[in-house]
Amino acid sequence: MTLLDRNLPDFVSTVTDLVSPEEVGDEAWGIDFAVDGAEEEVLLEELASPKKKAVHGRGASQAAPAPLNPLQRYLAEIHRIPPLSKEEELRLAVLYKEAEDHQAAHRLVSSHLLLVVKIALSYCQARNNLPDLIQEGNIGLLEALKRFDPHRGLRFSTYAAWWVRAYILKFIMDNWKLVKVGTSNARRKLFYNLNREKEKLRAEGNGHDFQILAERLQVKEDDVLDLDEYLSSEDVSLDAPVNPGSIRTYADHLPSSDPPVDEKLAEEEVEQLFQKKIRRFLKMISPRERLILKQRLLAETPMTLQEIGERYGVTRETVRQTEKRLLERLRVYLEEELPGLLCSPEGNGLSWGPHGDVPWIQDSPPKKQAHPCSRR
């Protein structure tokens, strides 16, 4: 089962429970960007008809039709698709359901594309996002076709309208602002009904009583406060100037994640000193101890006790004892040379590795070195 199959039916059921067909598109949002049937037909006619383009010079008295934009071409094309009768719709739906006839599916879907446009118009704010809403509605139409059961006695348009609305509403909710609203049932319920309930409270003379709103919508009062702030606030880009004409942006006021310069300089100084002391210590020990320190304690891929023992012809236990004595000598040496820099129980200063070893160090410092207090 896909993520869509798991989440979208729940989303559709939530929309169905919360918003009736008459409410979807106007009161459910608390924003007047719905249109009635008459306005809808006028808008469709206006969108589908090309405007007249003025012709200058000879024949200027006549106006030539302007070229159609992609949306107008799409609307003109789907206007030419004849509607289906109830019997033909049922026949095609059964044919697709039982035989997976793709031609029947294409005929069934194409005859309902105008329905998607009409539903999208009821949610289109200033018509600037109409193509996006139509696209999302068409996806919902395809999902409805996949799930439609023609034997239940329901018209496909009635069933598909809910899936089209669900996809359009989800698209609007996901793109309402840059910061997306939550997708829990409680947040959806608030998103679709908060403004409508607030208007009812104002009409009753209760103003903005968030406790009453929470009780009516059966959600927590904190959720009402959070979403009300979300819907009433505006998105601000971090790249936007703080004041008109200012070159400083909001991002300039964010605290930096980098440590202060004085701390970085102090860390680099301690690290360089630590590297110097380790290189000096390497000159004070025997070749076998130097190998153990470099290839066992300081290497990215340390040699095993067995490998070192085989190289020098000694047992693993002998190498382990040598390593133990070497670490103790190194600890004493560093405590004498760098007093106060070795790690305390609170974790300050230079650290020892999980096996008693020292931090990763090379004979010549690399371009980017590990912090001397970091554990491997």
Confidence band of 41 (pLDDT split at 50, 70, 90): low
Q: Which of 70-79, 157-166, 248-257, 364-373 has the highest mean pLDDT?
A: 157-166
Give 311-325 pLDDT, tens digit per residue: 888 898 998 998 899
Asked if 166 and 15 count as a contact pair (C-beta separation under 8 A), the reply is yes
Q: What pLDDT does 162 receive?
A: 92
More confident residue, 253 or 372: 253
Among 87-101, 189-203, 358-372, top mean pLDDT goes to 87-101
Instruction: Report the pLDDT value the prediction gives residue 237, as an integer from 0 to 100.
Output: 76
Cβ atoms of residues 360 and 371 within 8 Å: no
Reported as type and span, the H/E element at residue 246 is none
Sign of CA dihedral 353, 356, 359, 360: negative
What mean pLDDT comes out for the span 276-288? Answer: 88
The DSSP code for 250 is G
Question: Does residue 369 carry a pLDDT above 90?
Answer: no
Is the per-residue pLDDT at 119 higher than 50? Answer: yes
Highest-pLDDT range among 51-60, 115-124, 238-247: 115-124
Q: Are 306 and 316 in contact (CB under 8 A)?
A: yes
pLDDT at 347 exceeding the cut of 50:
no
> Residue 115's closest CA among 21, 13, 18?
21
Whether the CA torsion 160, 162, 167, 172 is positive or negative: it is positive
Residues 293 and 325 sit within 8 Å (Cβ to Cβ):
no
φ/ψ of 342, rounded to 5, equals -70, 155
- Its pTM stands at 0.50
Rounded Cα distance between 281 and 338, Å, is 13
pLDDT class for 116, splitting at 50, 70, 90? very high
Mean pLDDT along residues 79-84: 90
**DSSP state letters, 255-313:** PPSSPPHHHHHHHHHHHHHHHHHHHHHHHTS-HHHHHIIIIIIS-SSPPPHHHHHHHHT
- Listed in order, strand segments (DSSP E) in the chain are 52-54, 63-65
